[in-house]
A and B are shown apart, each in its own frame.
Chain A
């Protein structure tokens, strides 16, 4: 299973800094993220997705209600992870609106990703 808690930069000392915190979802296969997914935090996001893919079986969940922003590279990492799953799908719960917008633009009707809107 590895380290259950991956953390980005420490909690922001100033509002200009970005952070991403990722933790396991209690009772379900998946992760909860909070903060923002952008260039500054991308390594942590990709590491979390890679771990999610390693544990995936059937349906995995990504709870993103505390994520304020995700950029194109962040959505790309998610889409490429989902495309690489041998079976099943990833349910993305309550993501920031940028995520379905970018998905629709570059991966319209991708069967491996199901989005539950905010």
Chain B
């Protein structure tokens, strides 16, 4: 079944596949259609799948940008600004075509809620733009809940030779569902702060990170990220907050709680214009960390970032 696509419509199908042969056949056909249409193309999928696509395309893949999603998309929060909009914004003037596979078997239970929210937010980030993003899902290896969520985050579903509209499509429901409470860790080193304490709380965060073995550029990144979150609390989150740092399953976790509410679901995912004054703080946190989890509501906001140790 095929429908006419308006020139400025965003197209966001999920592709459910079982095994390497089907994966290669479907993704290569998708890219060959883009080649025939003369569209700029990028492929951001896990390394082994990247190789399948490259091998399937041969020299036809020469003009395509290939990225290992386990690297560029390790933190799902940076996929929209850095990978997807990064490519689409660099190719204005016509439709661009992207394969993005942000969820693979091996994504942890801590990562998954941020992955599902990322898939949901793609829909609002690209609304009204001439962009096609195909998201492959490994039906043989992913949890059935992940497949069920993909039917809610994608307006179009491709399964075998069938392409159909998803009747379950409701991206906001997935954003809300994975806005999960983040209980405090009993192991954490905790400090409260107000506007006068920003330098002190930043130094506290750095000292805790050093104690846990973070050094060099990672330590500088941690300092930048902690400064942005605590400054946000002072400016937008009620004027004060609490910072906590602990180690968990091979990661440093740094968390900032305040009384504010994050009302913009795309906060930190909209690339700013070069001369724009604000809008980079939360994006920096996404860029330099391995995972960001957010819980926001009437009772306040918790933002947590993870750095692998």
Contact = CB atoms under 8 A, between A and B. Distances in A.
Interface of A: 15-18, 36, 38-40, 69, 71-73, 76, 79-80, 83-84, 97-98, 101-102, 105-107, 110
Nearest to A83: B275
Given A40-B196, A80-B277, 20 more contacts: A16-B196, A18-B198, A38-B202, A39-B198, A39-B231, A72-B224, A72-B227, A72-B228, A72-B281, A73-B278, A73-B281, A76-B278, A80-B275, A98-B224, A101-B217, A101-B220, A102-B284, A106-B280, A107-B274, A110-B274
Contact of A79 (B220, B223, B228, B274): B274
A101 B224 CA distance: 10
Interface of B: 195-200, 202-203, 217, 220-221, 223-224, 227-228, 231, 234-235, 272, 274-275, 277-278, 280-281, 284, 287
B214 to A, nearest CB: 14
A97 B220 contact: yes
A15 B234 CA distance: 20
12 contacts: A15-B203, A16-B196, A16-B200, A18-B199, A39-B234, A72-B284, A73-B278, A73-B281, A101-B224, A105-B287, A106-B272, A106-B274
Contact of A36 (B199, B217, B228, B274): B199
A16 B284 contact: no
A114 to B, nearest CB: 17
Contacts of B224: 71-72, 98, 101-102
Contacts of B195: 39-40
A85 B231 CA distance: 29
Contacts of A107: 274
A39 B235 contact: yes
B200 A15 contact: yes
Contact of B202 (A69, A76, A110): A69
A18 B221 CA distance: 20
A6 to B, nearest CB: 19
